[in-house]
Amino acid sequence: MAFAFRTDLACERQKVAGDIPGIVHREYQVGPCRIHSLFVPDMPPCAAASLRAGHYSTLFFRPVWEADESELREIGDILASLLRDAATHLTRRAPERCKILVAGLGNRALTVDAIGPRTADRIHATAHLKTQKPDLFRQLDCGEIAVLAPGTAAQSGMESAALIRAAANLFSPHLILTVDALAARATDRLASTIQLADSGTEPGSGIGNRRMPVNAVTMGCPVLSVGAPTVTDTATLVQDALLARGLHEDDPLLHCASDHPDRSFFVAPRDCDEMTDRLSLLLAHAVNAAFGFFCDGIV
């Protein structure tokens, strides 16, 4: 049996799971982005491989600190196009006619977990304009966007999913868009990957801290999840190093680290502050461009 590792990226899980009937994937290039498209059917083998049913689009690009503003803007525009297509497919509405609830997940006090809240800070909320300034809202011709950053259960004492559902009950959105930091298996995914999925999200699942899921079943409306990996597990780093030295996947040594989760840690790039800031700016630009009316500069 292959060793276990932690990741939120469907492309990494699919690679390890191998060929499963019904799974469809392809790769293509758009500008500076290599895009991996993955469809996972609702089948038992997929669940056994920890692949939730749904459509996944994963963008790979140069680390954000190597890209200039024009390249980051281009990446954001590509993601915006994918967001618009996914929103139209899920809601059967043009993005400009959608009510969107954006939820920035994570702990803003922890740098590598702050992508969600920092992105939420930069999203242009427009829902209030429809009633307060209807003429202006009509001129803007944009979606109704509401934004919240629910924090973590340790901060509020309540599940993030419960707070999002309460807001959704008040706002009645056509679509919920979550933004979160993710965990990856490969270190070269950090600062250079964004995943878009319509399967929902489980906050904290990548680091083994599973909470109430945010998906169409729990929320009562379609859910799109956008995330960027910022950390990787030390157990995975050790396992990969042992594999590189020639150990077989069934070797008991590979399981030593994962057998003791309390001895495992998560690591991030040394430039994690710049990574988080640039990724949140990029994600906010994409959401504003997809549904809003005004696009900021990236840096």
DSSP assignment of 216-239 equals: HHHHSS-EEEEEEEEEEEHHHHHH
Query: Which residues lie closer than 8 Å to 259 by C-beta, 6 or more apart?
Result: none
Percent of the chain with pLDDT over 90: 60
299/85: higher pLDDT: 85
- Percentage helix, strand, coil, to 5, in the chain? 40, 20, 35
Choose among 25, 49, 46, 45: nearest CA to 35.
25
Does the pTM of the predicted model rise above 0.85?
yes
What pLDDT is attached to residue 294? Answer: 59
10-236+265-290: CATH topology = Rossmann fold (3.40.50)
Average pLDDT, rounded, for the chain: 87
Reply yes or no on whether the pLDDT at 3 is more than 50.
no
Tell me the per-residue pLDDT of 51-91, one tens digit each, with 9 for 90 and over.
889 999 999 999 999 999 899 999 999 999 999 999 999 99
